[in-house]
Homo-oligomer: A and B are copies of this chain.
Amino acid sequence: MPSLPVLVVHGGAGHIPKDRAQISCAGVREAARVGYACLQAGGSAMDAVTEAVTNLENNPAYNAGRGSVLTQHGTVEMDAIVMDGRTLASGAVSAVRRIANPVQLARLVMEKTSHLCLTAEGASHFARAMGVPEVPEESLITEYARMRWRKNLDPDANPVQCMMMGGETPSAPVDTHDTEGKIGTVGAVAVDAQGNIACATSTGGMLNKMEGRVGDTACIGCGAYADNHVGAVSPTGHGEAIMKVTLSRLILFYMEQGKSAQEAADQGLAYMKDRVQGLGGVVVVDPRGDWAARFTSAQMAWAAAQGDQLHYGLYVGEHFTQPITDPKGP
């Protein structure tokens, strides 16, 4: 039964190695609890999604903030976005470096500038003007991220050619190896007790991406969309495919035409798979508190908090529940 408030988070779609499944599941449950506690304390949907995503950025298990995948040059460039369904206000940063919590910087772009997106050095200068501390790049890089980067990058390769040969060309279907390179984008959607809707997404992008690559996450309508009249979506998966079909806005269009959150999510993901051979996943809410966590990838870590229950899962068809107050998972 739908009810308010509600919050749903994801920790990224893709193939999650077995040894990382447990921590990936635990992290989204914790982030859902943190965001839901904010809602229960009277916080806005925007506050809740910001807190949930901040929590996931700080968790090194995910490809966002600390734990981000590395670019072809071994650096960390992050994209993040927030959107407020009341006013359609949004803020985003793209290809930003040396920031612990890009989602909070995206929110500052929304709240403190007249713009919707700041990129690269411009975003860094804005962060400095806002008093956001610059952190050492090393503090964002985990041993796991460095190991994967080394494994995937041939140091003699031509950067452009390297990307072209990475199974990433438009004509190449997305296979498990390909999707594995992009696990871990994080996101949240929420409806607060007042019926206001918000969403947030944050990512380190694609493993061994080119310098300056901007994916779906920084792009409104692709990596996020929220509208109080319809609902909100935060996606994860093959960023370029998500962009080609403007996945978040697409799913909300289906909901405007009468589909439920789950039907619209499935229809949007099926369209992305058919039309541009892209796999991914989404978390979705509607204004009544109906929600969905759906994916076409092998796995997606997700968790939802509503009423006194915490819902979560990782593999297709999994849907566990536990009391929200129970701090231990199975």
C-alpha gap A56/B111 in the complex (Å): 35
C-alpha gap A151/B170 in the complex (Å): 46
Nearest B residue to A123, CB-CB: B212
Write the A161-177 contact mask toward B (1 if CB under 8 angstroms, else 0).
00110101110000000
Task: Check A118/B213 contact, CB under 8 A, given A220-B219, A221-B222, A222-B221.
Answer: yes
Residues in chain B near residue A209, CB distance under 8 A: 115
Interface of A, helix, strand, loop or mixed by DSSP: mixed
Residues in chain B near residue A154, CB distance under 8 A: none
A90 CB, nearest partner CB in chain B, Å: 7
Residues in chain B near residue A215, CB distance under 8 A: 115-117
A247 CB, nearest partner CB in chain B, Å: 10
Cross-chain pairs A/B with CB under 8 angstroms, 29 sampled? A87-B276, A88-B276, A95-B122, A112-B160, A113-B163, A113-B164, A113-B210, A114-B164, A114-B169, A114-B170, A114-B240, A115-B210, A116-B240, A117-B214, A118-B212, A118-B213, A118-B214, A119-B213, A120-B212, A121-B121, A122-B211, A122-B212, A123-B212, A125-B211, A126-B160, A130-B160, A219-B220, A219-B221, A221-B246
Number of identical monomers bound together in the oligomeric complex: 2
- Taking a contact as CB atoms under 8 Å apart, the answer to whether A121 and B120 are in contact is yes
Does chain B have a CB within 8 A of A259?
Answer: no
Residues in chain B near residue A222, CB distance under 8 A: 219-221
C-alpha gap A222/B219 in the complex (Å): 9
- Taking a contact as CB atoms under 8 Å apart, the answer to whether B212 and A129 are in contact is no
Interface residues of A in 90-125 (CB under 8 A from B): 90, 92, 94-95, 112-123, 125
Does chain B have a CB within 8 A of A225?
Answer: yes
Nearest B residue to A114, CB-CB: B168
C-alpha gap A50/B160 in the complex (Å): 22
Task: Check A122/B210 contact, CB under 8 A, given A114-B169, A164-B112.
Answer: yes
- Taking a contact as CB atoms under 8 Å apart, the answer to whether B221 and A88 are in contact is no
Does chain B have a CB within 8 A of A9?
Answer: no
Nearest B residue to A120, CB-CB: B120
Residues in chain B near residue A218, CB distance under 8 A: 214
Does chain B have a CB within 8 A of A89?
Answer: yes
